[in-house]
Amino acid sequence: MEALQEEAAPLSVPIWINNVATLVMVAGVIIALVRVVNSVWVKPRTLERWLTQQNLKGNSYRFVYGDLKEMEKMVQHANSKPISLDDDIVPRIIPFHLHIIRNYGEKCFIWLGGRPMVNTTNPEELKDVFNKISVFQKIPNNPLAKLLVSGIIEYNGETWVKHRKIINPAFHHEKLKLMLPAFYECCNKMVNEWKKLVSESENGSMDLDVWPWSQGMTADVISRTAFGSSCEEGRKVLQLQIQQAHLTHKVLRSIYIPGWRFVPTKLNRRLKELEKEITLLLRGIINKREKGREEGEAPTDDLLGILLESNHREMEDNINGNNKNVGMSIEDVSQLASSSKRRGPPTLWLYPPAPILTRVVLEETRLGNLRLPAGSGIVIPAILVHQDPLLWGDDAKDFNPQRFCEGISKATKSQTSYLPFGWGPRICIGQNFALLEVKMALCLILQNFSFELSPSYTHAPIVVLTLQPQFGTHIILHKLY
């Protein structure tokens, strides 16, 4: 009996094991604290000294937030009221950046949290930044922002190379030609709806906000060209992603706090709900297409089909060139597009989709006469590069289509000074897709309407991930026939 009681007695843990466990826990806490202190104070101050010793100027580092609070305050103030069409849009788009440059000169830096971002607009330095993609990499996003801004946009190194290789064939010029029927169908649908609206008006003219129409047409184009027969599901994805974009914009303008994404705030919950819904929709579309591909029934003339073929290394080397009649031949589109060719570059030059581009310095390197430490960053105000009179002349801020009449290379004098889609190996992969859509739409609109700016138009460009009109784009449409 006594033996059984002895066996049943709980085993006592040796004191030394308890002591070791306590020491491990304390050491873990100390290491975590050291890392936090280094991240939010020691490293930023070290980087600041490194830059100021090279005569770079900027605000002194402010704990955790850096310049973010002041930046947000100035952006909100700038966006609180519209501007005149004759006003410079820069103070409204990048007010804080302009403020820093005016205070400290072009050799300056700003603080994105604890990371100092060195300003540069020098074409030779820009060329280095865009070409040396292993040194100057995309800045890692806030984990919540990654729910929208992820994939090839954010990838670096070998991961980026792998995905770019898979995606490149889908955006080849010859592949985009195969999508002309879808482009035409979507643009023509919008134009026909406009014709109906104008016909119902009393004087053959009407005031129309074309911004939501252009968004809808773009969603339609992407749905049809990307998902083909699954375009309805594709539209749902894009509608959800528009919601994601507005919520993500709020996240990107706030300081990143590690672990905050796990706090069940209203914003966090909605972002995760959207991400889950989008993932389920996309997974369903891809699974259905994969099954069809295996059975030899899936189309390969849309982006999804091309991407799946690329991913399985089964791309055909030649394109059969058979295009159904879309009302306009490829030659017709090319001829009409030439009339709008000179309008595109100056518009994107004055209103670049991404007014500011950023990179992080992965390892210590030289940029011009500067020695940049690992962990610092580069900020490129593309909109200021486009308005630099030293690069573009005294009329740099004027809309001048003739500037690009001999091509972009001649206009820029082969310098890295035209950046609406970035530059170098990481230039936006979808730029040709976007420009083809715009040219097709503009050609069809000009065939059917004349238009002028409406008195109700309010000039208020704003950045919500990309540059866009805050209060829409109101024009007066006049039907030609």
Binding-site residues: 428
Find out whether 372 and 366 touch, Cβ atoms under 8 Å.
yes
SS3 label, residue 397: coil
SS3 label, residue 422: strand
Q: What is the DSSP string of 85-111?
A: TTS-SHHHHSHHHHHHHHHH-SSBEEE
What contacts 24+ positions apart, CB below 8 Å, involve 388-391? 388/121, 388/417, 391/123, 391/415, 391/417
Residues annotated within a binding site for heme: 428
- Of 323, 309, 330, 285, which Cα lies nearest the Cα of 169? 309
Rounded to an integer, what distance in angstroms lies between the CA atom of residue 254 and that of residue 259? 14
Find out whether 384 and 352 touch, Cβ atoms under 8 Å.
no
Q: 136 is written with which tokens?
A: 């100057």
Q: 420 is written with which tokens?
A: 């609406």
- Of 216, 237, 242, which Cα lies nearest the Cα of 226? 237
Rg of the chain taking only CA atoms, in angstroms: 27
Q: 461 is written with which tokens?
A: 């460009």
Indicate the residue type of 332: D
- Of 69, 42, 46, 60, which Cα lies nearest the Cα of 109? 60
Rounded to an integer, what distance in angstroms lies between the CA atom of residue 343 and that of residue 401? 6
Per-residue b or e along 304-340, where b marks 16 or more CB atoms closer than 10 Å to that residue's CB: bbbbbbbeeeeeeeeeeeeeeebebeeeebeebbeeb
- Of 443, 435, 384, which Cα lies nearest the Cα of 100? 384
Distances (CA, A) of 224 to 85, 136, 432: 36, 35, 17
- Of 75, 143, 22, 40, which Cα lies nearest the Cα of 355? 75
Q: What is the DSSP string of 426-453?
A: GS-TTHHHHHHHHHHHHHHHHHHEEEEE
Length of the chain equals: 481
